[in-house]
Structure 1
Amino acid sequence: MSVELGRVGVWTWAFEASPWGQVRAAAQEIEQLGYGALWFGEMDGRDAVSQAALLLGATERMVIAPGVAIIYRHHPATLAQAERTLAEAYPGRFALGLGVSNRAYMEERGHTWKPPVRAMRAYLDAMDAAPLTGPEGPRSPRLLAALGPRMADLAAERTWGAHPYFMPVEHTAYLRERLGPEAKLVVHQNITLHEDPAEARRLARSSLAPWLAMGDTTSSRWQLISELTGVTEADLADGGSDRLVDAMIAHGDAEMIAERVRAQFTAGADHVCISVATEFGVPQLGLAQLRELAPVLL
Structure 2
Amino acid sequence: MEIGRVGVWTWGFDHLPWAQVADAAREVDELGYGTLWFGEGTGRDAPTQSALLLGATRRIVVAPGVVSIPRHEPTTLARAERTLAEAFPGRFVLGLGVGAKVIADEVGRAWTSPAATMAGFLDAMDAARTTAPAPATPAPRVLAALGPRMLELAAKRTWGAHPFLMPVEHTAYARERVGPDTLLVAHQNVVLDPDRGRARETARTALAGFIANVHVAPSRWRMMRQLRGFDESDLADGGSDRLVDALTAFGDVDAVTAQVQEQFAAGADHVCISIVTPEPHPVVGLAALRELAPAML
Range class of TM-score, shorter chain? over 0.9
Alignment of 1:126-275 (within 5 A): 126-137=124-135, 138-275=137-274
Question: Which has the higher mean CA deviation after the structures are superposed, 109-118 or 73-82?
Answer: 109-118
Aligned-residue offset at 1:102 = 1.0
Indicate the residue corresponding to 2:288 in structure 1.
289
Say which SS state the counterpart of residue 238 (structure 1) adopts: helix
Unaligned runs of at least 5 residues, structure 2: none
Residue among 30, 37, 43 paired with 2:28: 30
Give the distance between the partners of 2:21 and 2:74, measured in 1 at CA. Answer: 27
For the residues of structure 2 that align with 1:217 and 1:284, how far apart are their CA atoms?
24
Q: Which residue of 1 aligns with 2:47?
A: 49
Q: Using the alignment, how far apart are the partners of 2:278 and 2:73 within structure 1?
A: 35
RMSD: 1.2
Q: Measure, in 2, the Cα distance between the counterparts of 1:107 and 1:254.
A: 42
Paired residues of 1:209 and 1:280 also in contact (CA < 8 A): no
Q: CA deviation at 1:279?
A: 4.0
Any conservation in 1 of the 2:204–2:244 contact (CA below 8 Å)?
A: yes
The Cα offsets for residues 217-263 of structure 1, whole Å up to 9 and x where unpaired, read as 12221111111112222111111111111001111111111011100
Q: CA deviation at 1:289?
A: 0.7
Looking at structure 1, the residues matched to 74 and 218 of structure 2 have their Cα atoms a distance apart, in angstroms, of: 28
CA contact (8 A) 2:83 2:132 kept: no
Q: After the TM superposition, which of the residue ranges 36-45 and 103-112 deviates more from structure 2? A: 103-112
Structure 2 CA distance for aligned equivalents of residues 164 and 280 of structure 1: 25
Q: List per-residue Cα deviations over 1:98-153 (Å, max 9, x = no partner).
A: 00111123313433322211110000000001112132333100000000000000
Question: Deviation digits for residues 152-175 of structure 1, max 9, x if unmatched?
Answer: 000000000101110010000000
Q: Report the AA paired with residue 200 of structure 1.
A: A
Cα deviation for residue 211 of structure 1 reads: 0.7
Q: Is 1:206–1:278's contact at 8 Å kept on the other side of the alignment? A: no
Matched-pair contact (CA < 8 Å) for 1:210–1:280: no
Q: Against the structure 1 CA distance between its residues 280 and 100, is the aligned structure 2 distance closer, same or farther, given a 3 Å change threshold?
A: farther
Percentage identity across aligned positions?
Answer: 59
How far residue 216 of structure 1 moved from its aligned partner, in angstroms, is 2.1
Corresponding position: 1:87 with 2:85: yes
**SS, match of residue 91 in structure 1:** coil
What's the TM-score once normalised by structure 1's chain length?
A: 0.97
Instruction: Return the offset for 1:280.
Output: 7.6
| Conserved 8 A contact 2:70-2:107 | no
- Structure 1: distance between partners of 2:94 and 2:239: 33
Moved over 6 A (4+): none
Conserved in 2, the CA contact under 8 Å of 1:6 and 1:35?
yes
Report the residue type matching 2:31 in the other structure: L
Contact 2:9 2:38 in 1 (8 A): yes
The code of the aligned residue for 2:170 comes to H
Q: Hey, what's the Cα distance between the residues in 1 that align with 2:295 and 2:278? A: 24
